[in-house]
Structure 1
Amino acid sequence: MHTSGERAGHGANIVTLTMNPALDVTTAADVVHRTEKIRCRTARYDAGGGGINVARVAAVLGASVSAVFPVGGSTGDLVTELIAAADVPYRRVAISEPTRESFTVDEDSSGQQYRFVLPGPRLTIAEQAKCLDELQYAAQSAQVVVASGSLPPGVPFDFYQRVADMCQEIGVPLILDTSGGGLAHIASGVFLLKPSVRELRECFGRELTTEAEQLAAAHELIERGISEAVVVSVGSKGALLATSSGSQRFSAVPVRAVSGVGAGDAMVAAIAVGVTRGWSLSKAVRFGIATGAAMLMTPGTAPCRREETERMFELSAEAEDIVD
């Protein structure tokens, strides 16, 4: 009998993997000074990490979801409690080192946001294998798997390639949102890759200053057989979608941002939800743009509200085809 965690998720339409979860701590201060004691206001605590953020937003959007993640120590226990409180089914892998914390300070006087992200725990080979085992079990009946976030210390850069190979073996499409070595070492098997412009630049080692250069890089990933589709998020300019059949441009939905934390994860969550609903990629990405905009309006990594997302979706513009 296969069991893991207190709220074991099996049979979900969307399964997410978070290899480097975090306890997200968000607070505010009037002014951030260097070398001085900064008096902060009451902190907000959220379960964080790419795939966990994706799972929470997908659940808000009404999807059947399960989150797979490794956690350890008291911070890991709190992360698990927060996920359970959000009514997200999960499969947790116990690890020996404590889960990391991430710290965000909003400076009221300037409107600037300061984000401090720690590297995370070191996972043993056995703990890494257990994560893959739990993911494979949870994904057997899934419609899509989402692997999102950084890889913690000690996890080899080709780990996400192992995830892609596993998804291909069981016939489940993989949406991957990562950066650094995890992105650079993907060779095949991804259904949709979602880098930001910065992550795409780091992957190719080029500036990629123009839209044409960004799309050319995205199409190169497709031509190499790495991914069937690539969505490049370009911040306030929206997003670009590249597929083997062409390119599309999506405008951003203008909002007054409260926090940028988790907006990219919200976009990925909505795209995954759209895929499970049988939507075209174009419609799913437009839904992702709307959900990311709604997420910008929430504090910390608090999930967006479904009604706000639907309102943003109505305001979002249809994609514009780009003629190469």
Structure 2
Amino acid sequence: MAAMMNIATLTLNPTIDVAYEVDHVYHTRKMRTKTEFYSPGGGGINVARVYVRLGGNARSYYLSGGATGHALDGLLDLHQLVRNRIPIKGHTRVATAVLERESGKEYRLVPSGPMVEPAEWRQCLNQLQTAQCDYLVASGSLSPGIPDDFYGQVVAMMTERSIPVVLDSSGAGLRGGLEQGGVFLVKPSIGELRQFTGRDLPDTESVGRAAMQIVGGGHAQYVAVTMGHEGALLASAERQLLLPAVDIEVRSAVGAGDSFLSAMVFAISSGWEIEEAFRFGIAAGAAAVMNPGHDLARPEDIRRLYSQVRAAS
């Protein structure tokens, strides 16, 4: 295995993730929670958490503000993550997941996030200009006020420095990053890919064609599409690889995509071939959904499920 490389992650719209469990969800009535958990969240932060669990080195760049921003900083320190905070005036958002024990259903409340001023997002670009890393993972939504082409600006900056960019976003963030071109790896979910293409993509053949168009257009070298229980698809200039989902009991969908991406990048940065890294990512996504909403993939689960993924493909 090659020497471990360092990654940096970018989270423009981080969260404090709060998870509760209740016996039953009622309207109006006060519901007493059975458990409560507080975690630092948002795409890039989640990627960094799993990457470090696997034994890698990750530095988190993120925007943070208000009283909740200080709380987020503290949570990152509790998780012993190396961090670069870009201060903003707005309050960091708080996202809530409620698990109803009676039905096993999970309810998720996710605010849009704080307004970011031009001086604040420009300061973010300035900090990234000196980021020391082998890969940059830009993951998560754009906060209000951040321009649609922000991830494109990041890709252009990192391309000049010969640092590959991994992109995982949706809507304007995904489009702005891909339109720049030259992304190393992009990981849309099937829903994000449908939104990006404006097409239904009713079967895996149409998903594969859409992914290959992204590759063929020079927008990204690799496209990994996660499709939930239908598995995942990897597209490159050489070929497509479609793999089934791991057959497990789903407890929560929180953090599955971030765990997938983190494990895949960890394997790539460790010198694995892209298709084996893709399998490792599938294992991590499955490992994440086995856990309740306050947790992400665990290394022992990832490695156990990875052997199942290899055996099935």
Task: Note the 1:1-324 alignment, pairs <5 A.
Answer: 13-138=6-131, 140=132, 142-185=133-176, 186-187=178-179, 188-317=181-310
Q: Structure 2: state its 5+ residue gaps.
A: none
Q: CA deviation at 1:236?
A: 1.4
TM-score by length of 1: 0.91
Aligned equivalents of 1:48, 1:263: Cα separation in 2: 13
Aligned equivalents of 2:13, 2:49: Cα separation in 1: 16
Deviation readout 1:184-243 (Å, 9 max, x if unpaired): 223112011100000000111111011000011111111121111100001012210000
Deviation readout 1:60-102 (Å, 9 max, x if unpaired): 0001111100101121111111111112111111111110010
SS of equivalent residue, structure 1 residue 256: coil
Q: CA deviation at 1:148?
A: 0.3
Aligned equivalents of 1:277, 1:318: Cα separation in 2: 21
Q: CA deviation at 1:263?
A: 0.7
Structure 1 residues 12 and 137, CA gap change in structure 2 (3 angstroms) = farther
Q: Aligned AA for 1:96?
A: K
Aligned equivalents of 1:294, 1:173: Cα separation in 2: 26
Structure 1 residues 308 and 182, CA gap change in structure 2 (3 angstroms) = same
Percentage of pairs with the same residue? 41
Q: Is the 8 A contact 2:113 2:144 kept in 1?
A: yes
Q: Aligned AA for 1:75?
A: T
Aligned equivalents of 1:101, 1:75: Cα separation in 2: 8
Q: CA deviation at 1:181?
A: 1.0
SS of equivalent residue, structure 2 residue 130: helix
Q: Is the 8 A contact 2:37 2:294 kept in 1?
A: no
Deviation readout 1:22-73 (Å, 9 max, x if unpaired): 0001101222234444333332101000000000000000011111001011
Aligned equivalents of 1:104, 1:66: Cα separation in 2: 26
Q: Aligned AA for 1:170?
A: R
Aligned equivalents of 2:205, 2:130: Cα separation in 1: 41
TM-score by length of 2: 0.94
Q: Is the 8 A contact 1:248 1:319 kept in 2?
A: no
Q: Is the 8 A contact 2:222 2:236 kept in 1?
A: yes
Aligned equivalents of 1:137, 1:200: Cα separation in 2: 32
Q: Is the 8 A contact 2:256 2:296 kept in 1?
A: no
Give the superposed CA RMSD. Answer: 1.6
Q: CA deviation at 1:317?
A: 2.8
Aligned equivalents of 1:189, 1:276: Cα separation in 2: 18
Aligned length: 308
Aligned equivalents of 1:12, 1:212: Cα separation in 2: 35
Q: Aligned AA for 1:160?
A: Y
Q: Is the 8 A contact 2:5 2:269 kept in 1?
A: no
Q: Aligned AA for 2:298?
A: R
Aligned equivalents of 1:42, 1:210: Cα separation in 2: 40
